[in-house]
Amino acid sequence: MYFDGSRNVMGAGIGILLITLKNEMILYSLKFDFPCTHNMAEYEALIQGLRSLLSFQVKRVYAFGDSQLIINQVNGKWQVKDENLVPYQEIAAYLIRQFEEGQLAHIKREGNPIADGHASLGSTITFQTNESISSFEIGRLERLAFETTTHVYHIQEGNTPCYRDIKRYIESGEFPIGMSKNE
């Protein structure tokens, strides 16, 4: 699991990437309807991701986040000095213990691009009341649009299509009337 939280002038949100044993990716991007700090958003991302995994009855979790503060607080290496983060740390630590095996590791932001992008999306998107997006697909485009475009030619009856001469040459080696090898 990869997770990230985001907070900016547009609001706050989270991005979560779950990867199954079959290498399938499940992405979450959530917008918050409540005020919070950046660190609170990071904790929200971790907690929501862990809850999702528990709901899928996952036994082992390897969670990666780019917030050194959150990772070290949950792992018990650093004290929680901000009293607003204490309940978050307690819940996250409790959830990690619910797995047969649970590991939480810090990664650089560059190693977390999908969750980071979804956290940014979650924090900047605006919704109308009771509105949400239930399906969102991300894929890859491997070629430029003009490289994959299919050209459709409409040929009117009575006109001889220009490709007929090319087809004749390919099939029989015969040049069109009035053309030389150089043309």
pLDDT beyond 60 at 160: no
Give the least confident one: 45-49, 105-109, 127-131. Answer: 127-131
Query: What class, spelled out in words, does domain 2-124 have in CATH?
Result: alpha beta
Instruction: Look up the pTM and report it.
Output: 0.69
- End-to-end, the C-alpha distance of the chain in Å comes to 62
Give the pLDDT mean for 8-23.
Answer: 85
Token pair of 80 as six digits: 């929680």
Nearest Cα residue to 7 out of 67, 54, 53, 59? 67
Other beta carbons within 10 Å of 12:
24
Domain ranges in the chain are: 2-124
Q: Are 119 and 13 in contact (CB under 8 A)?
A: yes
